[in-house]
């Protein structure tokens, strides 16, 4: 099977027929005596299509539905008109986020398939637009599959500091067998490393100030090893330069075996220490950063450069897209359940857009194309 045909077959898994069927399994929390004219699945599908097309408030979602009423009726069989903004707000504020999260995970699961040989990046993001509206301070921890460019699952925490408890809960709910899981410094914990090994995954964990002794020992070792002619021979080095979007990025990766580390036995299957130096040159400015990682993998320095690059890429692929393309940080929603559900709808939309390979265009451009081309909007949620 050709790569293009294989991608098309994968894309067919993210289809609207499966999505509607999964949405029908969500318990409708509306009163039995209330207005059930609009099916819960219809409201959700209208919201997802509207979000894909750049509409972000309840009123804008209603505007989209009203303008596309004939299209929705012909393509999806919506026979009871478009729900009002208040109905949309009420329904999105009633759906249990855990139920919608389960629908999302089931929807993307066939698209992702096995995680064997893949990299899963785990990172947190605060929905700042929500926190600016009052007491709500919602922090989401997401698992991003680098190869498939899709979120595998997410979980809510009250504060960033609670990532330590949220990360194990999220990982436990996912099938990560055969993957390499990379996590920022908050996840550099012995119990998390132990859990990853127990779930038959490898780990790549960033080391920062929250593990001061570990960080100091790694820093001191690399500083000494680079100046010691005998120890230097045991270091692996990889230097890589890339240029894109007017920026030159120079990578220098040093790796060493972790056998010398006295506390090695307390970090399950710890094999490698990694030192990363990245220099970015843009215009007349130059920035440098240095980072350290530990890993259960035994691989060459070039492999670790790719893994670290992918790990940092979650900021551009996921967080940047949510903030810049979907304006998540500017959202005026402040009701906790609605904020959580809309955060999930954005990930439904982003998954559909990033999975599309029919046209070479940015996320923003594809959203605008979908807004004016109904067939393209429907193709993003392929009904094949």
User: How far is Cα 215 from Cα 294, in angstroms, rounded to an integer?
Assistant: 10
The answer to whether residue 328 sits within a structural domain is no
Across the range 62-71, mean pLDDT stands at: 93
Residue 91 burial (C-beta neighbours within 10 Å; 0-12, 13-18, 19+): buried
Across the range 159-184, mean pLDDT stands at: 90
Distance (Å) of CA 118 to CA 179, 181, 201, 230, 301: 5, 9, 10, 36, 18
Q: What angle do CA 276, 295, 108 make, to 5 degrees?
A: 100
Same domain, yes or no, for 156 and 228? yes
Q: Which residues contact 76 (CB under 8 A, 6 or more apart)?
A: 16, 20, 42, 45
Same domain, yes or no, for 87 and 173? no
The answer to whether residue 330 sits within a structural domain is no
What pLDDT is recorded for position 35? 55
Residue 5 clears pLDDT 50, i.e. is over it: no
Q: DSSP character for 120?
A: E
Across the range 135-142, mean pLDDT stands at: 74
Neighbours of 324 (CB within 10 A): 14
Q: Strand, helix or coil at 227?
A: coil
Same domain, yes or no, for 171 and 25? no
What pLDDT is recorded for position 374? 92
User: How far is Cα 144 from Cα 120, in angstroms, rounded to an integer?
Assistant: 5
Structure token pair of residue 216: 């100091």
Same domain, yes or no, for 35 and 125? no
Across the range 137-146, mean pLDDT stands at: 87
Which of the listed residues 297, 320, 343 is the one where a domain comes to its end? 320
Q: Which domain holds residue 263?
A: 114-320
More confident residue, 36 or 76: 76
Residue 228 clears pLDDT 90, i.e. is over it: yes
Same domain, yes or no, for 10 and 155? no
- Lowest mean pLDDT across 109-123, 148-162, 207-221, 325-339: 325-339
- What's the number of domains the chain is made of? 2
**Are the C-beta atoms of 348 and 51 separated by less than 8 Å?**
yes
pLDDT band at 325 (very low <50, low <70, confident <90, very high): confident
What pLDDT is recorded for position 73? 87
Structure token pair of residue 315: 């900021």
pLDDT band at 322 (very low <50, low <70, confident <90, very high): confident
Same domain, yes or no, for 180 and 96? no
The answer to whether residue 327 sits within a structural domain is no
**Are the C-beta atoms of 371 and 333 separated by less than 8 Å?**
no
What pLDDT is recorded for position 194? 97
Same domain, yes or no, for 20 and 95? yes
The answer to whether residue 309 sits within a structural domain is yes
Q: DSSP character for 292?
A: E
Residue 368 clears pLDDT 80, i.e. is over it: yes
pLDDT band at 7 (very low <50, low <70, confident <90, very high): very low
Same domain, yes or no, for 44 and 138? no
User: How far is Cα 255 from Cα 48, in angstroms, rounded to an integer?
Assistant: 44
* pLDDT digits 0-9 by tens, 274-291: 999 999 988 778 999 999
The answer to whether residue 215 sits within a structural domain is yes
Q: DSSP character for 330?
A: G
Same domain, yes or no, for 57 and 159? no
More confident residue, 161 or 57: 57
Same domain, yes or no, for 315 and 187? yes
What pLDDT is recorded for position 179? 97
Across the range 104-127, mean pLDDT stands at: 91
More confident residue, 243 or 160: 243
User: How far is Cα 312 from Cα 323, in angstroms, rounded to an integer?
Assistant: 16
* pLDDT digits 0-9 by tens, 191-207: 999 999 999 999 999 99
Q: Which helix (H) or strand (E) holds 140?
A: strand 139-145
pTM listed for this prediction? 0.88
For strands 150-157 and 247-257, give the pairing. Answer: unpaired
**Are the C-beta atoms of 103 and 22 separated by less than 8 Å?**
yes
- Lowest mean pLDDT across 41-50, 233-242, 331-340: 331-340
What pLDDT is recorded for position 81? 81
What pLDDT is recorded for position 139? 83
What pLDDT is recorded for position 34? 54
The answer to whether residue 58 sits within a structural domain is yes
What pLDDT is recorded for position 331? 74
The answer to whether residue 329 sits within a structural domain is no
Same domain, yes or no, for 244 and 145? yes
Average pLDDT, the chain: 87
What pLDDT is recorded for position 160? 59
The answer to whether residue 373 sits within a structural domain is yes
Residue 353 clears pLDDT 50, i.e. is over it: yes
**Are the C-beta atoms of 298 and 236 separated by less than 8 Å?**
no
Residues of the chain with pLDDT > 90, as a percent, come to 57
Interaxial angle between packed helices 40-52 and 85-92, expressed in degrees from 0 to 180 and rounded to the nearest 10: 100
Residue 231 clears pLDDT 60, i.e. is over it: yes
Taken in order 188, 239, 217, 269, is the CA torsion positive or negative? positive
What pLDDT is recorded for position 161? 59
Q: What per-residue string of b and e applies to 294-304 under the rule 16 or more CB within 10 Å gives b?
A: bbbbebebbbb
Q: DSSP character for 282?
A: E
What pLDDT is recorded for position 60? 95
Q: What angle do CA 115, 120, 122 make, to 5 degrees?
A: 145
What pLDDT is recorded for position 384? 34
Same domain, yes or no, for 80 and 146? no
Q: How far does CA 131 lie from the centroid of its chain?
A: 20
């Amino acid at each position: 099977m050709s790569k293009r045909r294989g991608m098309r077959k994968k894309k067919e898994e993210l289809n609207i027929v499966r999505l509607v069927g999964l949405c029908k399994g969500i318990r409708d929390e509306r009163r039995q005596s209330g207005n059930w004219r609009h099916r819960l699945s219809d409201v959700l599908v209208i919201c997802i299509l509207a979000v894909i097309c750049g509409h972000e408030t309840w009123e804008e979602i209603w505007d989209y539905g009203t303008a596309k009423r004939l299209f929705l009726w012909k393509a999806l069989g919506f026979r009871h008109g478009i729900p009002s903004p208040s109905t949309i707000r009420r329904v999105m504020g009633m759906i249990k986020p855990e139920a919608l999260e389960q629908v999302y995970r089931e929807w993307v699961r066939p698209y992702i398939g096995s995680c064997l040989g893949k990299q899963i990046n785990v990172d947190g993001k605060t929905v700042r637009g929500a926190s600016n509206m009052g007491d709500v301070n919602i922090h989401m921890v997401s698992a991003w599959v680098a190869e498939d460019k899709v979120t595998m699952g997410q979980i809510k925490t009250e504060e960033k500091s609670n990532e330590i408890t949220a990360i194990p809960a999220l990982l436990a709910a996912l099938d990560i067998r055969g993957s390499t899981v990379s996590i920022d410094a908050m996840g550099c914990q012995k119990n998390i490393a132990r859990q990853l090994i127990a779930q038959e995954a490898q780990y790549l964990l960033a080391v920062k100030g929250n593990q001061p002794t570990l960080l100091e020992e790694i820093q001191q070792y690399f500083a000494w090893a680079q100046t010691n002619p005998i120890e230097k021979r045991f270091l692996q080095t990889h230097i890589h330069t890339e240029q894109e979007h007017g920026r030159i990025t120079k990578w220098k990766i040093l790796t060493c075996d972790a056998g010398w580390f006295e506390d090695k036995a307390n970090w399950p299957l710890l094999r490698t220490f990694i030192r990363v130096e990245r220099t970015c040159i843009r215009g007349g400015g130059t920035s440098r950063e240095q980072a350290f990682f530990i890993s259960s993998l035994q691989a060459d320095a070039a492999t670790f450069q790719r893994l670290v690059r992918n790990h940092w890429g979650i900021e551009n692929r996921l967080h940047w897209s949510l903030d810049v393309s979907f304006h998540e940080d500017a959202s005026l929603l402040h009701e906790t359940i609605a904020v959580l559900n809309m955060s999930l709808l954005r990930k439904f939309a982003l998954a559909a857009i990033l999975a599309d390979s029919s046209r070479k265009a940015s996320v923003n451009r594809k959203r605008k194309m979908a807004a004016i081309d109904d067939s393209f909007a429907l193709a993003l949620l392929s009904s094949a």
